[in-house]
Amino acid sequence: MADVVHPVHGEVHRHPAPTNFIRKYIFSTDHKVIGIQYWCLALFAVFVGMALSLLMRLQLGWPGQEWGFLKTLFPNAAENGTISGELYLSLLTMHGTIMVFFVLTTAPQGGFGNYFLPIQIGADDMAFPVLNMLSFWITFVALVVLLSAFFVTDANMINVIGPIGGWTGYAPLSALGERAGPGQGTGVLLWITSIALFCVASLLGALNFITTMLNMRARGLSLMRLPLTCWAWFTTAILALLSFPVLLAAGILLLLDHLAGTSFFIPGGEYVSGQLVKEHAGGSPILWQHLFWFFGHPEVYIAILPGMGLTSHLLSTFSRKPVFGYRAMVYALFAIGLLGFFVWGHHMFISGMSPYSAIAFSLVTLTIGVPSAIKTFNWLGTLWGGQIRFTTPMLFAIGFVSLFVSGGITGLFLGQTSIDIPLHDTYFVVGHFHLIMGVAAIFGMFAGTYFWFPKMFGKMMNEGLGKIHFIITFIGVNAIFIPFHVMGMAGAPRRYASHGNLEYARSVMPLSRFISWVAFVTIAGQLIFLVNLIWSWIKGPKASANPWEATSLEWTIPSPPPHDNFAGILPDVHRGPYEFSVPGASTDYLMQTDPESAEEHGH
């Protein structure tokens, strides 16, 4: 290997590592440090979001129950220790916003993508390192702004914990300020500001990802030799690039409705909280839905595509087999991304849209099932006949496939206009998107963490704890979210603080309480993950350069990698990333840099 590397114009260390603490760990331009910063931010955010869901589960399982600790936690919003309707709604809004933006969008792309895209393409950093640093810090400020909504008080100095309109922030209630409910004034302003900042940060990130992948690949690394993870990050970046500006536009319009007295989203004659809205007229609440969902649907894929890429990568690596249908996987990724831009209307079937439009949206939506099925069958094809190594990352990747199937199939129900009408705004929808967008994507992140932790921190994670974590989480999420579908079919509406006082939905109460219990156990199970992380980071056994016997470029360099990744010597790539069990090869895997390959292909 040493005889084929080419020095880059004689310089060995193009970027000397910064020595002072602030430039090295805080305002760092090193994509690896930024990746870890994103990952830590997402880890923090996911625990905040999970804590909020814990409070919601308390309310849903035991509506109206007094909880002493809530009095200290929310002295105003929960003065009796019970969760009021408004408090419940703000818990829900903050849970959704934190999870969607600061976990699902942040960790897979900003975290793992930042860390591993440059290494997997054989580059020494991102194309625009300073921009990369900016995009992380803008994300950080966005999170701080969002969390500050917890501490907002309304005009009567009553502490509310943020906006109450849900993560979709539907107009006009999100545009009318305080009179639409506590938290809808300052709380919503903070929410919009946070999201606008997040849009800007994501755009800078997407710009960086696309340019890096197009311009900085190592010699010999043609597009069809890229790991599927890179393709997934690239497709995700394109989706982000084209969808976040639309959310930004919607955010700007909403902000103007709040602050400048315009009426983009507020129709005339609104009667809210006993008051007639006189100063606005003519706006279109449906416009908000169109703009929001034009972003919102691609956002679902922004969350899950990196997980798909990683799953393909892991299933191949741990089955010791090439990925089944590499090109089909790449084209399917693109097809999912492309179609994702033409289906936003399926979130709005009951908004009064023309049934003809609804049928068009429905058809395109169901069409996404085709590339999704291609991916699923190719995953199964990759597993078939493989010598499967059931490591923790592999278990999570298999779990991803399982959740992708359950979440995807329920999508086929909701994608049909006639079935969507009774199921709309019920727990069926909540179950569906938690399975596919929430938990499947989270499984991708867990898989990524267990797989890449050795590379990122130079230590192995504990396999035993990892497997216990997997079993608890896998059973837990299914036991939580599959009953959601049952509740939905029974008609239980989403966003209600309690189902106990709905005559027809009262029968779901025992199920709801069961879900709460499972949720507590599953959340406790995540502490095992946290312990594993911290313990492994401090005391874990040292990781070798390639502990998983994987083939892509990040495994050719030490764990953790040096500051400029390849120590100034950019790699030469001779083969694709999934050359496992190649007949006649001396090992059951061939690294991408392995020159042996070039000769074989000549035969």
Q: Which stretch binds another protein (CB under 8 A): 246-254, 438-446, 498-506, 577-585?
A: 246-254
Q: Which of 571, 570, 576 is nearest to 551 (CA)?
A: 576
- Binding residue (CB under 8 A) for another protein from 74, 112, 233, 244: 244
Question: Quick one: 204 or 472, whose CB is closer to another protein?
Answer: 204
Task: Give the binding-site size for another protein (rule: CB under 8 A).
Answer: 51
- Give the type of residue at 83: I
DSSP state of 564: T
Distance of CA 184 to the CA centre of its chain: 26
Question: Quick one: 284 or 581, whose CB is closer to another protein?
Answer: 284
Question: Quick one: 298 or 307, whose CB is closer to another protein?
Answer: 298
Helix (H/G/I), strand (E/B), else coil: 354: coil
User: Cβ neighbours of residue 178 under 8 Å, at least 6 residues apart?
Assistant: 154, 155, 184, 185
246 binds another protein (CB under 8 A): yes
Q: Which helix (H) or strand (E) holds 392?
A: helix 392-414
Question: Quick one: 210 or 460, whose CB is closer to another protein?
Answer: 210
170 binds another protein (CB under 8 A): no
351 binds another protein (CB under 8 A): no
Question: Quick one: 55 or 250, whose CB is closer to another protein?
Answer: 250
- Binding residue (CB under 8 A) for another protein from 18, 81, 85, 220: 220
Q: What track of x and - describes contact with another protein for positions 252 through 271 (by CB under 8 A)?
A: xx--x---xxxxx--xx---
Q: Which stretch binds another protein (CB under 8 A): 250-258, 447-455, 528-536, 542-550?
A: 250-258
Q: Which stretch binds another protein (CB under 8 A): 45-53, 201-209, 456-464, 487-495?
A: 201-209
Distance of CA 571 to the CA centre of its chain: 31
222 binds another protein (CB under 8 A): yes
Backbone CA torsion sign across 175, 181, 186, 187: negative
Helix (H/G/I), strand (E/B), else coil: 515: helix
Tokens of residue 588, six digits: 């059951």
| Closest separation in Å from C-beta 571 to another protein | 13
| Closest separation in Å from C-beta 211 to another protein | 4
Alpha carbon separation from 56 to 44, 85, 488 (Å, rounded): 19, 11, 17
* Strand runs labelled E in 178-327: 271-272, 275-276
568 binds another protein (CB under 8 A): no
| Closest separation in Å from C-beta 242 to another protein | 5
210 binds another protein (CB under 8 A): yes
248 binds another protein (CB under 8 A): yes
Task: Tell me the C-alpha distance between 180 and 182, whole Å.
Answer: 7
Q: Which helix (H) or strand (E) holds 35?
A: helix 31-61
**Which residues from 120-139 bind another protein, rule CB under 8 A?**
127-128
Task: Please identify which residue in the block is written with the tokens 């639409």.
Answer: 180
Q: Which stretch binds another protein (CB under 8 A): 20-28, 110-118, 285-293, 520-528?
A: 285-293
**Which residues from 393-432 bind another protein, rule CB under 8 A?**
none
* Strand runs labelled E in 278-366: none
| Closest separation in Å from C-beta 284 to another protein | 6
Helix (H/G/I), strand (E/B), else coil: 317: helix
Helix (H/G/I), strand (E/B), else coil: 153: strand
Within 10 angstroms of residue 403's Cβ, the number of other Cβ atoms is: 26
The pair phi, psi for residue 153, each rounded to 5°, is -115, 150
Instruction: Identify any residues that bridge with 493 across adjacent strands, giving them in sequence order.
Output: 426
Question: Quick one: 49 or 298, whose CB is closer to another protein?
Answer: 298
215 binds another protein (CB under 8 A): yes
Alpha carbon separation from 495 to 162, 165, 221, 271, 477 (Å, rounded): 16, 10, 49, 22, 20
7 binds another protein (CB under 8 A): yes
Question: Quick one: 285 or 309, whose CB is closer to another protein?
Answer: 285
Q: Which of 532, 412, 539, 414 is nearest to 468 (CA)?
A: 532
50 binds another protein (CB under 8 A): no
Question: Quick one: 375 or 574, whose CB is closer to another protein?
Answer: 574
Question: Quick one: 128 or 334, whose CB is closer to another protein?
Answer: 128
Task: Please identify which residue in the block is written with the tokens 């059973």.
Answer: 475
Tokens of residue 456, six digits: 């990122």
Alpha carbon separation from 347 to 168, 197, 289, 352, 420 (Å, rounded): 11, 25, 8, 12, 9
| Closest separation in Å from C-beta 262 to another protein | 4
Question: Quick one: 119 or 206, whose CB is closer to another protein?
Answer: 206
Question: Quick one: 206 or 519, whose CB is closer to another protein?
Answer: 206
343 binds another protein (CB under 8 A): no
Tokens of residue 271, six digits: 């009667």
Distance in Å from the first CA to the final CA of the chain: 20
| Closest separation in Å from C-beta 334 to another protein | 16
Task: Tell me the C-alpha distance between 385 and 382, whole Å.
Answer: 8
Question: Quick one: 263 or 522, whose CB is closer to another protein?
Answer: 263
188 binds another protein (CB under 8 A): no
Tokens of residue 599, six digits: 């000769």
| Closest separation in Å from C-beta 109 to another protein | 15
13 binds another protein (CB under 8 A): no
250 binds another protein (CB under 8 A): yes
284 binds another protein (CB under 8 A): yes
| Closest separation in Å from C-beta 377 to another protein | 29
Instruction: Identify any residues that bridge with 491 across adjacent strands, giving them in sequence order.
Output: none
15 binds another protein (CB under 8 A): no
H-type alpha helices, 415-508: 417-423, 427-433, 440-457, 463-489
Q: What track of x and - describes contact with another protein for positions 287 through 326 (by CB under 8 A)?
A: x--xx--x--------------------------------
- Binding residue (CB under 8 A) for another protein from 214, 370, 421, 598: 214
Residues in contact with another protein by the rule CB under 8 A: 6-10, 14, 127-128, 203, 206-208, 210-211, 214-217, 219-223, 241-246, 248-250, 252-253, 256, 260-264, 267-268, 281-284, 286-287, 290-291, 294
